[in-house]
Amino acid sequence: MNFDTLLVPTTTHGRVLVRTPAAAAVGLVVGFHGYAEDADTQLRRLAVIPGAGAWLLVSVQALHRFYRGRSEDVVAGWMTRQDREAAIADNIAYVDAAVDRVIERTAVPESIPLVYAGFSQGVAMAFRAAVSGARRTSGVIAVGGDVPPEIREDEQARFPPTLLLRGTGDEWYTTAKLDTDTAAIERRGGEVRTVVFDGGHEWTDAVGAAVGEFLARLLAR
């Protein structure tokens, strides 16, 4: 059967959660959840990071929502391989718009440090927003996920300070993938710190502690 594929631009609405600090924010952390999770899950992870109370926290939910199994729980995924390039462009534009809206509504300074933090499938989105997004980024935090191939293979890509975290029992984000990502970032002159923690494909208290240290170091620069 012969047919033409048409990609039709459209408008949709994304769900973004924001937690403002009690005092003036020292920085902005934008989080991306994993596959079949939601923005609430990632915001809870960010909220318990040591020192997170001083940061403006944002959790962006993926645009592609669905029900988990036969339940009524609404979860989301970032993208599939179908029409991949178009989906990447849509997602980067979505995150840029979300960050712009948050900064506008919270009236934080435009110069505030901006850090992207992803878990699992959300890691690719964190790197895409940091490397290809509209705003200058102060750091990237990647837990249990790798640098997406279009960025890893782009020799012109430039990375902000990066924290890569892997669980010892993580069968998806393997030691080989961690080493490949580390080498790709360092080859482009990027600053990268790696942490291997006791655990699996998960965001543990040890992850939170390492992330808190990373954020504190960014502020001390």
The whole-number pLDDT of residue 2 equals: 85
Residues 6+ apart with CB under 8 A from 181: 142, 146, 147, 152, 164, 192
From CA 199, how far away is CA 167, in angstroms rounded?
5
Pairing of β 28-32 and β 114-119? parallel
State the CATH architecture for 16-219: 3-Layer(aba) Sandwich (3.40)
Q: Which two tokens stand for residue 157?
A: 């890509």
One-letter-per-residue 3-state SS of 149-180:
HHHHCCCCCCCCCEEEEEECCCCCCCHHHHHH
Mean pLDDT by 10 residues, the chain (221 residues): 90 96 97 98 98 98 94 94 96 98 96 97 98 97 98 95 98 98 96 98 98 97 87
Q: What is the CA radius of gyration of the chain?
A: 17
- Taking the model in full, what pTM does it have? 0.96
Check if the beta carbon of residue 143 is closer than 8 Å to that of residue 167: no
Residue length, the chain?
221
pLDDT in tens, 53-101: 999 999 999 999 999 988 899 999 999 999 999 999 999 999 999 999 9
Check if the beta carbon of residue 127 is closer than 8 Å to that of residue 140: yes
